[in-house]
Amino acid sequence: MVQASSSSSSSGRRSVEDAIAAVDLSTFDWKAYEGTYTGRALITRLIHIPNTLLSPPAKPTTQSINLAKEALKRLIPHIKNETLDYHTYIQCVNLLKDPASRQKIEEDRMEVDESAENDAHESSSMNASTSAGANQVESNGVMDKVWVDDAKEHERRENSKLSVELTGYLSNLIKESIRLTYLAYAQLSIKVGDSQAAMKNYAAVREYSTSQQHHVDLGVGIVETLLAFNQPQALPGHISKLEATLDRLHPPITTSKFQAEAASVTASDIRERREAEARSQAVRRTVMVRIRVGKGLVTLYNKEWSKAARELGAVGEVEGGLGDFEGKAISSSDLALIIAFTTLASSHREKIRRVLLEQTSFKAQVDDGSSWIMDLVRSFVDAKYGEVMRLLYRSEPTLLLNPFLSAHAQTLLELIQTRCILQYVQPFSTIHIPLMANSFGLAPGEMLGLVEILVERREIKGKIDLIDQVLVMKDPDYRGGMFTNALKVGKKASDVTQSAILRMKMVEAGLIVDPRPPKNEKTGTGTGAGIDEKGQLTLDEGLGDGLDIEPISFEA
């Protein structure tokens, strides 16, 4: 028997260029790619294509250059019609003019601006055209200098106006007007495409916010801005602040609110209160959609696949869908795509069946153009690994062109592929690798490389006979496993016993105070304890929760 060596061949994923080569530009569904996205989110989505295909370390091919050019042609009208972002506009025109330059979309703006201005002065005679003519000229790499000058002038006028207003408000200390002016500054920065300036202005808005509603509105604005620019790494602190303020302003409904009403309360009072609660919960649901999307994309950015699937899945299952947030940062179809791949990469088959196949909220998010997602999930659950590998191969360009999943495409595909292999070998003691390769639709050498990697990483406990091409699984050590489980159960029982003894001694000494707030005001002490008629210490129900004592089920 020969242990697998690292010299064996292993399977590697395709490069970005090879994956994009499978995309047929003539049949590429741009309408499905743009989906329900609007505003800055649509601009961020379209700009992702040239940023991915033309930036180092990518090596642009004819196919990727043509795809990037088409994306830029669709992007430029949105920039001109919906924003004042002349920096991005100039960069896009430069990329159209010379796609092979591999310029980064987010490179130093001043350098790009200067080079673009020189190009503009050289072609000033062509830039006096109409809007339609300008679009035609832009496709040849010549920018519309009239629009650029108008955008710069509009930004300058707005900045001057807001600066004068802010100076007056600061001198008179009119806090509400100061807050609104900084908010206008933030909105102008967003329109210009400067997310960092917008965050600085939002920070100034926070200093002059005087009510919980102000802080909720501010938090929603920050979350929407960072999501629209696809910058989830800056979200965690803002989300926690927004969530804490929301719980105070619009607390979730608790069961205590549906207890019996007092005799003095009229039906009209009950109706008005319930209407107010319904309005409050509607507002809360709207904000919670933003929070859950933000949390989901943050965990996705941090490669916490199961948490990302759980948070984004709750958008449909708990909050009832994106609602009015549809397309402002993410679409329902992208939610389904992310949930499907993160769940497949991190969950066992029973959970996948329950979360993806049996959950109507997930199936409702999958549009007609993404029906292959359901095929992928069913094939995985039904152990049709050849079909899974085929669909994963076809899905790679889709993942690479998705702004949320592009950075994780290779990792997710490898994780799902690994789970398929582990599921395949689990029931067997010996596996003939050529037969396994046939089941996966791979060449025997490629299959051997994948299995070898998993054996070396100890994800598969076995050895490979390189002569006979057989994987021999190690027999499970039931005796050792039983002792390990027994030790775990014994340690847990010992910890619980020690806690119970300590609790008993503290009760005898009268030293325990329940750390929780009192459930009622019968004792009037506010400490969770009271004195009975005999002068002895009485304890609230649930005493000991502070010691983290829970019922334990002992299982070997």
**pLDDT tens for each residue of 4-60:** 333 333 345 678 888 888 888 888 999 999 989 999 999 999 999 999 988 877 788
Residue 202 has pLDDT above 90, yes or no: yes
Would the pTM count as exceeding 0.95? Answer: no
Band the pLDDT of 253: cuts 50, 70, 90.
Answer: confident
Residue 139 has pLDDT above 90, yes or no: no
Which runs of consecutive H residues, i.e. helices, occur in 464-535?
Answer: 478-509
Q: What angle do CA 39, 40, 41 make, to 5 degrees?
A: 95
- Say what the pLDDT of residue 474 is: 84
Which residues, in sequence order, are CB contacts of 527 under 8 Å at separation 6+? 513, 514, 518
Cβ-contact 426, 474 below 8 angstroms: no
- Cα separation, 182 vs 453, in Å, equals 55
- Say what the pLDDT of residue 516 is: 60
Band the pLDDT of 548: cuts 50, 70, 90.
Answer: very low
Which residues, in sequence order, are CB contacts of 14 under 8 Å at separation 6+? 396
Band the pLDDT of 380: cuts 50, 70, 90.
Answer: very high
Residue whose pair of structure tokens reads 């090596």 in the numeric block: 59
Neighbouring C-beta atoms of residue 553, cutoff 10 Å: 7
Q: Which residue has the higher pLDDT, 13 or 184?
A: 184
**Per-chain mean pLDDT for the chain:** 82
Q: Which residue has the higher pLDDT, 159 or 268?
A: 159
Band the pLDDT of 374: cuts 50, 70, 90.
Answer: very high
- Cα separation, 429 vs 424, in Å, equals 11
Average pLDDT, integer, range 104-118: 46
Strand extents, DSSP E, 408-536: 430-432, 462-465, 470-473, 529-531
Average pLDDT, integer, range 109-123: 46
Q: Which two tokens stand for residue 396?
A: 């790679």
pLDDT digits (tens, 9 = 90+) for 386-429: 999 999 999 999 999 999 999 999 999 999 999 999 999 988 88
- Say what the pLDDT of residue 536 is: 43
